[in-house]
Chains A and B, each alone.
Chain A
Amino acid sequence: LAKTTQPISMDSYEGQEVNITCSHNNIATNDYITWYQQFPSQGPRFIIQGYKTKVTNEVASLFIPADRKSSTLSLPRVSLSDTAVYYCLVGESNYQLIWGAGTKLIIKP
């Protein structure tokens, strides 16, 4: 089961682009990379998922290099409401996912 390593916390300012990098050196061939966002006293919310190269949706982009040993979540032009904990997960099935402590992102005005 692949574990991930990501920064414990990050600060940024409104309007900036934020990039959160996650390391997953032991990722397996069938594993997907998934990011979730969690606000206090709520359940996590799915942000984006990818297998390789780049994935983009209406809220974020996910960059995955060819070796897949890391990934970067990019949040364009963040606002105060993006202050949350962000989790990077790798796995083939949801019941295999190992949830770390995530990255606590604080957006300042």
Chain B
Amino acid sequence: EADIYQTPRYLVIGTGKKITLECSQTMGHDKMYWYQQDPGMELHLIHYSYGVNSTEKGDLSSESTVSRIRTEHFPLTLESARPSHTSQYLCASSESGTGFTGELFFGEGSRLTVL
């Protein structure tokens, strides 16, 4: 089983609140990712990191921010939540490697509802 954990699993919060979604992995993977997925829809990459102190924006514009201070930890923050941020957020990690994309290990997701 993959050792990647997301908290909280479910969060209902009011508009304007600041939230942080936590993601931790114990596999020592350098690469980590955040995806956004609406029910029944495709995954969209919103942030990724090659390693400590590295963060990049994905193909889907997002008002969220991320940080990577430790290898195992990749939190996502929304400074002021809005109803349009309601979605499922999936964290993933992979090994650094050459010659192949590397298996993505996903957490169980954080389902965010903004009222």
Contacts and interface: CB of A to CB of B under 8 A. Distances in A.
A17 B60 CA distance: 36
B41 interface: yes
Interface in A54-109: 91-95, 97-102
| Secondary structure dominating the interface of B | strand
A36 B56 contact: no
Interface in B63-100: 88, 90-92, 94, 100
Interface residues on A, range: 20 to 34
A44 B102 CA distance: 14
Contacts of B106: 42-45
Contacts of B101: 32, 34, 49, 91-94, 97
B104 A46 contact: yes
A12 to B, nearest CB: 20
Nearest to A89: B101
Nearest to A104: B40
B43 A99 contact: yes
B107 A94 contact: no
Contacts of A32: 100-101
B41 A36 contact: no
A29 interface: no
Contacts of B103: 46, 49
A93 B103 CA distance: 10
The CB with the most chain A CB atoms within 10 A, among B31, B42, B107, is that of B42
Contact of A41 (B35, B42, B45, B109): B109
Contacts of B91: 43
A49 B105 CA distance: 14
Interchain residue pairs A-B with the least CB separation, the first 6: A43-B106, A99-B43, A46-B103, A99-B42, A43-B90, A95-B48
6 contacts: A32-B100, A42-B106, A44-B43, A94-B102, A95-B45, A95-B58
Given A46-B104, A102-B42, 9 more contacts: A41-B88, A44-B90, A45-B106, A91-B101, A93-B101, A94-B48, A94-B102, A95-B33, A98-B59
